[in-house]
Amino acid sequence: MSAIKAEGRPTSDRTAFNTTRSILPCPVGSTVETQLDDALWKLVGGELDLHDLTPALAGFYVVGHSDGYRSGATYIDDGLRFERDAWYWVANNPGKRFGDFYAHISDRLWTEASA
């Protein structure tokens, strides 16, 4: 089988057939999937460190970690902001408790929503 040309560059002869019988190149990493999976779980288990990986492979791990952190950071920041506001409200409203803040916030949100 001859090499498929993509954007003027030859690709490998490794191809996969989909159900419509067109020829598609193999997915990136398909030839090393088992080794990548082993490396991932050794990294998670502590048998490997990031410095044991190639720079490109460590890059995938670091980028994935930072994307995951950013996706959860908003949720964490919102929770911390709410707790900060609640304790500030309690400190500046003598006789009120943390649970009273929920009632205060609910009333305020209903007032804003109905306006």
Statement to judge: residues 112 and 60 lie in one domain: yes
Query: How does pLDDT run along the chain (115 residues), one tens digit per residue?
Result: 444 444 444 444 444 444 555 565 777 777 888 898 898 899 889 999 988 988 988 898 889 888 888 887 777 888 888 889 998 999 999 998 888 888 888 888 888 888 7
Statement to judge: residues 18 and 59 lie in one domain: no
Statement to judge: residues 18 and 34 lie in one domain: yes
Statement to judge: residues 16 and 42 lie in one domain: yes
Three-state DSSP class for 62? Answer: helix
Whole-angstrom distance between the N-terminal and C-terminal Cα of the chain? 70
Statement to judge: residues 97 and 76 lie in one domain: yes
Statement to judge: residues 65 and 25 lie in one domain: no
What Å distances lie between residue 68 and 58, 65, 75, 79, 81, CA to CA? 15, 5, 12, 17, 20
Total structural domains within the chain: 2
∠ CA(52), CA(26), CA(35), 5° rounding? 25
What's the rounded Cα separation, in Å, for the pair 102 and 114?
18
> How many residues are there in the chain?
115
What's the rounded Cα separation, in Å, for the pair 66 and 20?
38
Range of the domain at 30: 1-48
Hunting for tokens 């990986």 — which residue is that?
53
Statement to judge: residues 92 and 59 lie in one domain: yes
Condensed to tens digits (0 to 9), the pLDDT of residues 58-91 reads: 898 889 888 888 887 777 888 888 889 998 999 9
The encoded tokens of residue 6 equal 């993509």
Statement to judge: residues 64 and 38 lie in one domain: no
